[in-house]
Structure 1
């Protein structure tokens, strides 16, 4: 077990890391741009890129060389996006997710270059979808809505609040988020935990863009409950916390839901024994919601959310880096592949709060520049790598 330096440990206690969750409410005035990345963070990234400083310049070059920054990209909107299990069938699923990432990529490119063509490309993509899409269907519809719905508001926030040109169909885009995405994601999910975490990320981001305080509060409450049920801490007791609607009222049910894992240790997640890729989705969504909340004025990093995020990152990072898997953990075998998901949490907890995170630090630095998972995570070395804001 890694020891936390005394000062950091005392600071964590003072911040209430081990206290009961405080009530969460929407800000009296929303901060914009304020979904995962703030204006101060964008300004820092832009300054470093223009100065040629690393790792930000390499991260920017990686982004600009990607297909998502191509000014010749033609959006491919669908009226009905149909996504079955593991996106089979895939009628518009990849198109939607990748167009949403492209809109966000173009928004970032606009901010750093101040080349209006990128803002206009982001608008073109957002307009194409807001003029077309009406629904998501089939078994993966909730998750698909969450993934795409996480990227759209990040793009829209940057364009709406930093681009001085015309976005004539902005209101139609807002209507799309309110009518096509929010009603689905706000319901949550009783599937594997990464589903609901991604859906709450989308719901929180959309609520910020729409300045919808009621939906923001609803999403945050579900997020807090799900996060506590996704990452285990020894302080939870002999078994993990649960989401009441799932009726996991026996140890046997909990073990089954935790992929057959019956030994619970701090930092283990509900999907660790499934695979690290899906675990990474959950960890990423936790970090994104915590970052949005901080920008909006309520810092969750100093609560159990931050502690669970820290422990989940450290636990998974250790094995991702090659530590031998003990026999009691997932039958002695892990499916690795955490993905580019550590920058936001690492920056918040290590750089801002000064908490030692040796394994997470090594993994984060080894993976720079972090790219995209082609689903809902993109360019976080650029936006959050060692970003003091």
Structure 2
């Protein structure tokens, strides 16, 4: 009941403020930013470390899996480029995979540093971040905004942990890294996208993380405003009416256009997403970014879960049902779905089920079945380790 009441009140408040959100974004930035504060805060990190040190499940197994991955390798050679060129589905792929994987490696190594307190992991993370901040100047081709979103969702997580828990990152290199985020990545993501929803949500995750690291209140406010308008346009609830919501400037001003944008789906039910009938993999990207932004904003003093939580828990359970093998009815995606949700449920499940008390049986089963959650090799990594049953 506690979870249902909180989510219901949050949903109502979200509806009442929608008019404001769709215009100028309201103030969301804290008076002072909390650090580390992108996806993970100090109390969460301390919880992870204590569980790994005690050998407790599932954290120790998740940690061991992380340390056995190539992302934790101390022999990794970063591969920075001045220009990363990424076309549709990363074709061409000129530095796209290298950039994403180096960012994931820096994040992995920062977690390894925090758990072990072994400086060699922090120093390796710094080496990777310095290599890129001293080289990259731009992203080009059609996937530049999404590529920027993927990489810049991950870089600030690593940088926040290293900058605020390790003394070995020289200030001039920290400043250079902040300049990279501000001048190379932020311009590509901050203005959003009318592409599929996972694009804009991932781009806003990047913008929020960049804004925390650089303490940019203006861009933080803008990114959160875009997020609060996009989430209701990405996940459908019956309370939205006969058709899903849309975002300003989308051009989705007729029923036919909305249905086409929703991958041809014309029957709308709680938890359906704009990309469900495309495939679950891209849907997972969107749901993951929604969870990540809510986590970061909560660390920064504004808990958005009561506002977005009903949509998120409905979407997680809806997708989980079919990911677990349920046969889709004929009205859903023509009776066929493309599974592959990915390791994206831990963060939302922990927030909504463990912290807010909401029953999520499908999500629970899928989450526990997938443990330990690994990486999607884009911007999701090690979330059983970081968020399983994490009370903080």
TM-score when normalising by structure 2: 0.96
1:16 deviates by: 2.4
1:372 deviates by: 0.2
Matched, 1:189 2:193: yes
Matched, 1:355 2:358: yes
* 1:80-119 map, 5 Å: 80-119=83-122
Aligned pair partner of 1:44 in 44, 47, 50: 47
Q: Is the 8 A contact 2:6 2:306 kept in 1?
A: no
Give 1:235's aligned residue: 239
* 1:216-235 map, 5 Å: 216-235=220-239
Give 1:20's aligned residue: 14
Which consecutive unaligned segments of at least 5 residues does structure 2 have? 18-25
Partner SS state of residue 82, structure 1: strand
Matched, 1:208 2:212: yes
Q: Is the 8 A contact 2:134 2:176 kept in 1?
A: yes
1:7 deviates by: 4.4
Q: Is the 8 A contact 2:163 2:169 kept in 1?
A: no
Aligned pair partner of 1:308 in 289, 308, 311: 311
Matched, 1:293 2:297: yes
CA RMSD, Structure 1 to Structure 2 (Å)? 1.0
Give 1:149's aligned residue: 152
How far apart, CA to CA, are the structure 1 residues paired with 2:159 and 2:376? 20
1:10 deviates by: 2.9
How far apart, CA to CA, are the structure 2 residues paired with 1:230 and 1:148? 22
Question: What CA deviation, in whole Å up to 9, does each residue of 1:278-305 have, x standing for no partner?
Answer: 00000000000000011111111111x1
Q: Is the 8 A contact 1:123 1:167 kept in 2?
A: no
Matched, 1:9 2:13: no
Give 1:61's aligned residue: 64
Question: What CA deviation, in whole Å up to 9, does each residue of 1:174-218 have, x standing for no partner?
Answer: 000000000110011111100000000000000000000000000
Which consecutive unaligned segments of at least 5 residues does structure 1 have? 1-5
- Equivalenced residues, count: 382
How far apart, CA to CA, are the structure 2 residues paired with 1:269 and 1:290? 18
Give 1:346's aligned residue: 349
Q: Is the 8 A contact 1:130 1:173 kept in 2?
A: yes
Give 1:3's aligned residue: none
Partner SS state of residue 381, structure 2: coil
Runs of 4+ in 1 over 4 A off after TM superposition: 21-24
Partner SS state of residue 10, structure 2: coil
Question: What CA deviation, in whole Å up to 9, does each residue of 1:101-158 have, x standing for no partner?
Answer: 0000000000000000000000000000000000000000000000000000000000
1:24 deviates by: 4.8
Q: Is the 8 A contact 2:36 2:160 kept in 1?
A: yes
Question: What CA deviation, in whole Å up to 9, does each residue of 1:220-256 have, x standing for no partner?
Answer: 0001111110000000010000012111000000000
Give 2:273's aligned residue: 269
1:17 deviates by: 2.9
Q: Is the 8 A contact 1:142 1:184 kept in 2?
A: yes
Matched, 1:370 2:373: yes
TM-score when normalising by structure 1: 0.97
